[in-house]
Amino acid sequence: MSYVKIIKYGDNLEIYQYEHLPMPHKKGVRDPDKEKPTEDEKYEKRQDNIYQIKRNFRRLVSANLGKEKPLLLSLTYAENMQDIHIAYRNYKSFVQALKYKFGKDFKYIAVPEFQKRGAVHFHALFWRLPKEINRKSEIENRTIAKIWGHGFVDIKETDGDQKISGYLAKYMAKAFTDKKLKNQKAYVSSWNVERPVVESDTSAIYYLFKYTNENDLPVVEKEYLTRWLGKGHFRLFKITNDKNL
Residue 165 has pLDDT above 90, yes or no: yes
The predicted structure's pLDDT at residue 42: 73
Dihedral class, residue 58 (left if φ above 0, else alpha if ψ from -120 to 50, else beta): alpha
The predicted structure's pLDDT at residue 244: 41
Q: Buried b / exposed e across 183-210, counting CB within 10 Å, b at 16+? A: eeebbbbeeeebebeebeeeebeebbee
Q: Could you tell me the pTM of the whole model? A: 0.85
Regarding the domain delimited by 71-189, which CATH topology (the fold level of the hierarchy) does it fall under? Answer: Alpha-Beta Plaits (3.30.70)
Residue 114 has pLDDT above 70, yes or no: yes
**Pair 163, 103: CB distance under 8 Å:** no
Residue 136 has pLDDT above 50, yes or no: yes
Element (DSSP H or E) covering residue 216: none
Q: What is the mean pLDDT of residues 110-133?
A: 94
Q: Tell me whether residue 105 is exposed, middle or buried, using C-beta atoms within 10 angstroms of its C-beta: 0 to 12, 13 to 18, 19 or more.
A: exposed
Percent of the chain with pLDDT over 70: 91
Q: Tell me whether residue 223 is exposed, middle or buried, using C-beta atoms within 10 angstroms of its C-beta: 0 to 12, 13 to 18, 19 or more.
A: exposed
**Pair 13, 198: CB distance under 8 Å:** no
Start-to-end Cα distance in the chain:
32
Q: What is the mean pLDDT of residues 200-217?
A: 83
Where do the domains of the chain lie? 1-22+197-239, 71-189
Query: What beta strand segments (E) does 90-243 contain?
Result: 107-114, 120-127, 153-157, 188-189, 197-200, 220-225, 231-238
Q: What is the mean pLDDT of residues 6-33?
A: 81
Residue 60 has pLDDT above 90, yes or no: yes
**Mean pLDDT of all residues belonging to the chain:** 89
Name the pLDDT band for 18 (thresholds 50, 70, 90).
very high
Structure confidence by residue, pLDDT tens digits, 66-109:
888 999 999 999 999 999 999 999 999 999 999 999 999 999 99
The predicted structure's pLDDT at residue 245: 38
Name the more confident of 211 and 84.
84
Name the pLDDT band for 29 (thresholds 50, 70, 90).
low
Helix (H, G, I), strand (E, B) or coil at 106: coil
